[in-house]
Amino acid sequence: MDYIKLNLINKSNDTNNSNIVIFQKNVASDYDETAVAWKVIKNFDKLDNHSFMFPVDFEISVSDSYGNYTNFNKATNGQTFGVTKDYSGDVLNLLSEPTKDKNQVEIQNNLTSGAVNANCYKDGKLLAVKTGISPGQKAFFEFHPRIYIGLISQIEEGDIINSAILSEINTVINLFGISGADIVMTGGGSGKKSSSFNFVLENINQ
């Protein structure tokens, strides 16, 4: 199974035409970055539905301070990647050595100079980022099979979600062992906060 098919259905009383944000959290032990808005659903009116695919694996790329990005690599848990420089510039390659933690993906900065940022993507959209990785340092990524979902008034896909907003989004959808499901949104109303809305899985396919 490469993708999980999800369908968000609005059965709430929301009258604010709020944006729905979906993201994951990097649970690797050394991770200290905030979350990234992976998917933002806008103009989501009452009784609307929005279908999307959620990839199981993710892709990675490395960028520098000049805004340059390496090639993209599909990443699977247990793999280690290293960024090096060749005649064409910085490149990111899969290394033969596995990670110490089989649930993580590791990215090594093997350059002689210059810090880099490690970027994770799902479905071509930014999922997570680890910034300022100096030569000799590593970044680790680990994601549980779950998504976080909530309402945000103003945000774009790829934006960093600040800690204040994160504290208001506490709905977790567990995707472990499923191939598809509806995510039904209920509750809310005019002026209601994100915490007053409910998101539950229905019509689950294993």
Kindly report, residue by residue over 152-200, the tens digit of the pLDDT.
878 899 999 888 788 788 799 999 999 999 999 998 765 555 558 899 9
Asked if residues 73 and 100 have their Cβ atoms less than 8 Å apart, the reply is no
CATH 2.60.40 domain extents, the chain: 3-56+145-205
Lowest mean per-residue pLDDT among 4-8, 96-100, 150-154: 150-154
Whole-number Cα distances in Å, 85 to 20, 89, 92: 40, 5, 9
Average pLDDT of the residues in 70-92: 91
**Fold observed for domain 3-56+145-205:** Immunoglobulin-like (2.60.40)
User: For 126-151, how does the pLDDT look when each residue is reduced to its tens digit (9 = 90+)?
Assistant: 999 999 999 999 999 999 999 999 98
Judged against a pLDDT cut of 90, whether residue 206 lies above it is answered with no
Give the pLDDT score at 122.
95
Q: What share of the chain is helix, strand, coil (3-state, %, to 5)?
A: 5, 50, 50
Token pair listed for 36: 């990234």
pLDDT digits (tens, 9 = 90+) for 27-72: 986 555 678 999 999 988 888 999 999 998 899 999 998 899 998 9
pTM of the model: 0.89
Which run of H or of E encompasses 166?
helix 163-166
pLDDT for the residue 135: 96
The span from the CA of 25 to the CA of 157, in Å, is 15
